[in-house]
A and B are shown apart, each in its own frame.
Chain A
Amino acid sequence: MDFKFLVDTFFVALSGVPIALIITIISLLIALPLGFMLALTRINKIPVLQRFAQVYVSFIRGTPVIVQIFIVYSSVPLLLTSLFEKYHIDKNVYDINPIWYAFIVFSINTTAIMIEIFRSAIGTVSKGQLEAAYSVGLTNVQAFRRIIIPQVLVTALPNICTATVNLIKATSLGYAMSLQEITLRAKVAANVGYNYVEAYLDIFLVYLILCSLVEYVFKRYEKRLSKYKTAHA
């Protein structure tokens, strides 16, 4: 056990945290509204979109993230090359920062999970709430923003927390797209002297700290939101 290496690499691994967090936050920012919308299409049974959401969720939940990464990573460049050729854009596809692929993969993945979370959460809010909101003269947007969404969030939050932690964990697969995040940085550092045990111990610690922090933040927020919680009648 090389303790100096252990300490040094810990900070190397730590330097990958911003990238992991950026991917997580961007993916959540895309997935939360999109997931909510698609969940509504399923609940309101909007013909084509409903079917689309169903197949989409089933596919994403039925395949490993790593396979999704490989599919996006090998299909998007193909699409882009033909697009660039068509419009004569002089840009090499292989110069694109892999973080863009990461945004695509993890947004697609998280959206599917959010659809499921919101679908079950919206189901817990009784229809009377919406009707009551309309009856006092709120518009559709107002009713959702002020009445429905706060209540949905209360029930959805623990699941969103789990999804976020899973998302952070999934960013460790970014190595497959040569994304410079926590795992890859520490692994590269370990390649020099074959100190893999120390490197993976560091990675393990970084993820443990990161995920514990995220869980803690969500717990705090959950407490703040719980004022919207309706007592069971």
Chain B
Amino acid sequence: MEKYFNASYIWESFPMLLPYVKVTFLVAGLSVLFGTILGFILAAMKLGSSRIARKIANGYITALRCTPSIVLLFLVYYGLPAIAENFGLLFDNVDKLVFIVITFSLQFAAAMAEVIRSAYQSIDKGQFEAAVSVGLSDFQAYRRIIFPQAFVVALPNFGNSLLELIKEGSLAYTIGLIDVMGKASLIIDGRFNAHALETYIALSVIYWVISIIIEQVFLKLEKIFSKGKQVIKTT
């Protein structure tokens, strides 16, 4: 057994892995985009007056929160083509990326729905009433008064969800997407399963750096956007 630890493989892995960070970000970016849209819809359903819509949204969020990403990923990957087949559609030529983006959008939407709901509810109702009373239309009141305040509240939670998403996104390698994680397992295969540890260490450092950067960016953003925040002291 020729298994020993050689740190030079860690350094060697970085230039091979780094170009694939793009793919990781592409998956995350698209999922954030679609997930946020769906999250808004879900949050609106949850806050709305229709009881059925509220039940559906709650059920969706609970179900998604209880499902491991890997299970959801395979459910989408095998399930969607099976459903499509019933309608006479063939999904054979669809890129893997589509399934991955669908999976993580669905998951991100559940997280975002809660983030948006809690942010919206944290804003005092009087804010909206005051805005309307000075003659703003409903839309203006939301756009100029409610949204900027809710945005600041939502920002840290949004950052956390994004980090979660990027980390969970690593599971896309299981259906064969070549992102950083997928590339890492390719590298390991290329080395005939030797020096797996060194490659994974390099991979973990890349993820670590990404998450530290995102964390710092969101801290900065929070500082920038909360400049107008006025804390009302409750005595």
Contacts and interface: CB of A to CB of B under 8 A. Distances in A.
| A, B assembled together | yes
Interface string A195-233: 011001101100110111000000000000000000000
Interface of A: 58-59, 61-68, 70-71, 74-75, 78, 81, 165, 169-170, 172-173, 175, 183, 196-197, 200-201, 203-204, 207-208, 210-212
Contacts of A201: 75, 79
A200 B78 contact: yes
Contacts of B170: 64, 66-67
A207 B201 contact: no
Interface in B183-235: 196-197, 200-201, 203-204, 207-208, 210-212
Given A70-B200, A71-B197, A208-B67, A62 B75 contact: no
B187 to A, nearest CB: 12
**Nearest 7 A-B pairs (CB), nearest first?**
A211-B66, A62-B211, A172-B68, A64-B170, A169-B68, A64-B167, A196-B78
Nearest to B1: A81
24 contacts: A58-B208, A62-B210, A62-B211, A63-B207, A63-B211, A64-B170, A64-B171, A64-B181, A66-B171, A67-B203, A67-B204, A68-B204, A71-B204, A74-B197, A81-B1, A169-B68, A172-B68, A172-B70, A172-B71, A173-B68, A200-B78, A201-B75, A204-B67, A211-B65
B82 interface: yes
Contacts of B163: 61-62
Contacts of A200: 71, 74-75, 78-79
B204 A63 contact: yes
Contacts of B203: 67
B125 interface: no
A197 B80 CA distance: 9
A58 B163 CA distance: 12
A211 B61 CA distance: 13
B63 interface: yes
Interface in B1-18: 1, 3-5
B27 to A, nearest CB: 13
Interface of B: 1, 3-5, 62-63, 65-72, 74-75, 78-79, 82, 163, 167-168, 170-171, 181, 196-197, 200-201, 203-204, 207-208, 210-212
B18 to A, nearest CB: 16
B5 A78 contact: yes
A130 B31 CA distance: 46
A70 B196 contact: yes
B177 to A, nearest CB: 13
A204 B75 contact: yes
A189 to B, nearest CB: 14
A197 B78 contact: yes
Given A62-B211, A71-B204, 6 more contacts: A71-B200, A74-B200, A170-B68, A175-B70, A183-B70, A197-B82
Contact of A203 (B1, B71, B167): B71
Contacts of B200: 67, 70-71, 74
Contacts of B3: 78, 81
